[in-house]
């Protein structure tokens, strides 16, 4: 009798516990709840309204927090589900809203890696651990950057995300010669990765230093055949830019001032345009826009219109994936600087002084 009463008591206790816990949601139900979280729509007519933008960011962050919490619940309930790695990717891409969130994220990534519940999940966590390590490093920490990138790239050599981590690490190395082995590795190990064509151009930049810079083109404004090698005896600024590029336009007054100040002292400019292709519609025609802009802004130097936006062959071959970007060619016609944007005037003055010695 006592045994039966004890068994009934245990059964009752288990039943109460089950009722208190509630029914467990299925993976599909939890994913439906995650997908139900929507980001607030953007009113394009108010993007200049600071109060609207601040409120939009607040609403978006709240929605992200809600979604990320639901994803975490899914991970804890179904760590080995086939959809868990992709869902956690979404969480790790958005969970950091300011620097104070990073330590907790790094702890979470470390815990997921240590738990080792599925190889795809561990691989994704390893990627984000390396990526966020790189994001938090400071100038001069190149060795740490390379180590962080290699932590992922060496462990997962077939994952093309390794190429982006290695590229980020290279940016922490101050000297082009120090970056060359990393860039060469990316070209060799990740030939089909997104961005490798630009990395090949970075290799060309470094290998091209100290060698003749060859550029022959028909001037977009005058139609004259022009060659950088025909400008020997002058310091030549090669300015990769576009009329649609805000920072390029913002720096134009400084560039015009430098040109006016040093042109008669032996300096010439060649602007290499990454404007859009030709189009029958004048409002969309890249060459028409370039000519109109140059005419209105009085830019009396040489202009090379490539005509294919970011896919333009010349700029791609030189690794140009952000603009403005300035190269310097010395009086002998050799490429001597591929990072001349910062302190451009001082760099020009130094080359001019070298020529007078």
Strand partners, 78: none
Residue pair 37/66 in contact by the 8 Å Cβ criterion: yes
3-class DSSP state of 96: coil
Q: Measured in whole angstroms, how far is the alpha carbon of residue 251 from the centre of its chain?
A: 21
What structural domains does the chain harbor? 65-79+101-208 (1.25.40.10), 216-356 (3.40.30.10)
**Mean pLDDT over residues 291-299, rounded?**
97
Distance CA 74, CA 149 (A): 29
Tens of pLDDT, residues 34-77 = 999 999 999 999 989 999 999 999 999 999 999 999 999 999 99
**Integer CA distances (angstroms), 308 to 223, 290, 302, in order:** 19, 13, 18
Residue pair 198/290 in contact by the 8 Å Cβ criterion: no
pLDDT band at 355 (very low <50, low <70, confident <90, very high): low
pLDDT given for residue 354 in this prediction: 85
pLDDT given for residue 333 in this prediction: 97
């Amino acid at each position: 009798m006592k045994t039966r009463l004890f068994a009934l008591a245990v059964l009752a206790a288990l039943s109460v516990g089950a009722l208190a816990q509630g029914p467990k949601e299925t993976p599909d139900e939890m994913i439906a709840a995650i997908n139900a979280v929507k980001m607030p729509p953007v009113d394009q007519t108010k993007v200049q309204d600071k109060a609207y933008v601040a409120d939009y960011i607040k609403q978006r962050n709240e929605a992200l927090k809600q979604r990320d919490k639901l994803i975490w619940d899914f991970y804890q309930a179904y760590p080995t589900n086939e959809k868990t790695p992709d869902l956690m990717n979404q969480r790790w891409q958005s969970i950091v809203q300011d620097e104070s969130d990073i330590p907790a994220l790094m702890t979470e990534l470390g815990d997921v890696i240590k738990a080792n519940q599925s190889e795809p999940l561990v691989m994704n966590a390893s990627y984000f651990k390396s990526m966020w390590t790189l994001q938090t490093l400071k100038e001069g920490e190149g060795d740490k950057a390379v180590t962080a990138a290699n932590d992922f790239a060496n462990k997962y050599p077939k994952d093309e995300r390794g190429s982006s981590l290695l590229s980020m690490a290279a940016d922490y190395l101050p000297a082009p010669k120090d970056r060359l082995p990393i860039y060469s590795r990316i070209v060799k190990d990740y030939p089909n990765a997104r961005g490798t064509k630009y990395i090949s151009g970075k290799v060309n930049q470094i290998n091209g230093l100290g060698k003749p810079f060859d550029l022959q083109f028909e001037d977009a404004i005058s139609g004259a055949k022009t060659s950088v090698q025909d400008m020997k005896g002058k310091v030549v600024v090669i300015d990769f830019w576009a009329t649609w590029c805000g920072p390029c336009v913002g720096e134009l007054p400084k560039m015009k001032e430098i040109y006016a100040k040093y042109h008669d002292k032996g300096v010439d400019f060649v602007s290499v345009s990454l404007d859009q292709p030709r189009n029958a519609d004048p409002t969309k025609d890249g060459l028409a826009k370039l000519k109109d802009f140059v005419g209105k802004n009085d830019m009396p130097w040489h202009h090379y219109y490539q005509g294919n936006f970011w896919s333009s062959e010349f700029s791609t071959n030189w690794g140009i994936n952000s603009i403005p970007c300035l190269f310097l060619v010395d009086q002998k016609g050799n490429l001597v600087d591929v990072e001349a944007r910062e302190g451009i005037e001082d760099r020009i003055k130094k080359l001019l002084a070298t020529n007078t010695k």
